[in-house]
């Protein structure tokens, strides 16, 4: 939460000082926000498949650690 607040303050600084006469900056921020929302929806719909694919490439020690954390 602290880093999110710092990021908001930094974006405020960029918007008010660095890009104050730019119309493209708010458009770019809006597009980034919409992309984050879209990726969240895609992740939620495909979480099981993405998790299975990610676990296939993990070393055996990490797989064991994850299973012990989930079960215990």
Torsion of CA 13, 16, 35, 55, to 10 degrees: 0
φ, ψ (nearest 5 deg) of residue 69: -70, -40
- Tens digits of residue pLDDT in 1-56: 899 899 888 888 888 888 888 888 888 888 999 999 999 999 999 999 998 898 89
**66 pLDDT more than 90:** no
What's the pLDDT score for residue 26? 86
- Domain membership of residue 27 as a residue range: 21-71
Q: Assess if residue 12 is contained within a domain.
A: no
Q: Assess if residue 1 is contained within a domain.
A: no
Q: Assess if residue 58 is contained within a domain.
A: yes
φ, ψ (nearest 5 deg) of residue 21: -105, 15
Q: Which two tokens stand for residue 66?
A: 């994850």
Q: Assess if residue 38 is contained within a domain.
A: yes
């Amino acid at each position: 939460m602290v880093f999110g607040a710092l990021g908001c303050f930094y974006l405020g600084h960029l918007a008010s000082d660095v890009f104050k006469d730019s119309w493209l900056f708010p458009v770019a921020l809006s597009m980034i926000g919409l992309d984050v929302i879209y990726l969240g929806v895609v992740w939620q719909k495909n979480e099981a498949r993405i998790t299975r694919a990610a676990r296939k490439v993990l070393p055996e020690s990490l797989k064991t650690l994850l299973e012990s954390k989930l079960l215990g």
